[in-house]
C-alpha cells in the first residue's frame, strides 16, 4: 500500500475540521450569512492548499534516503585523510 492511498482521506479531514471550527466561530460571534459564507470559502481554499502541501512534503520526506550512509562515508574519508597526513609527517621526519 503506497502513501497516497494511506492519506487519501487526510486532506478531507483537515479541510472539514477547519471549516467546522470556522462555522462554530461564525455562530458564536453571530456574523451575517454572507460574511459567514465568505469566511467558510476562504477557510476551505486555504486549508485545502495547506493540506496538499503538507501531504506532498511528508511524501517527499518519506522517500528521502537515510542520512546514516552519508555520515559513514564522511567518517571513512576523514580517516583516509588522517592516514595520508600521518604518512606525510613520517616521510618528513
Rounded Cα distance, 29 and 62, in Å: 42
pLDDT of 68:
63
pLDDT of 5:
84
pLDDT of 4:
79
pTM of the model as a whole = 0.65
| Residue 62 CB partners (closer than 8 Å, separation 6+) | 3
Give which of 2, 48, 50, 41 is closest to 23, Cα–Cα.
Answer: 41
- Coil vs helix vs strand at 32: coil
Per-residue pLDDT of the chain (93 residues; tens, 9 = 90+): 777 788 889 999 999 999 999 999 999 999 999 999 999 999 999 999 999 999 999 999 988 877 665 555 566 666 666 665 555 555 665
Amino acid at each position: 500500500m503506497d502513501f497516497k492511498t494511506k492519506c487519501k482521506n487526510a486532506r478531507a479531514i483537515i479541510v472539514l475540521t477547519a471549516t467546522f471550527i470556522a462555522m462554530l466561530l461564525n455562530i458564536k460571534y453571530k456574523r451575517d450569512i454572507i460574511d459567514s459564507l465568505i469566511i467558510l470559502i476562504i477557510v476551505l481554499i486555504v486549508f485545502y492548499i495547506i493540506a496538499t502541501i503538507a501531504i506532498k512534503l511528508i511524501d517527499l520526506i518519506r522517500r528521502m534516503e537515510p542520512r546514516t550512509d552519508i555520515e559513514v562515508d564522511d567518517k571513512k574519508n576523514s580517516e583516509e585523510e588522517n592516514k595520508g597526513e600521518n604518512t606525510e609527517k613520517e616521510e618528513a621526519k
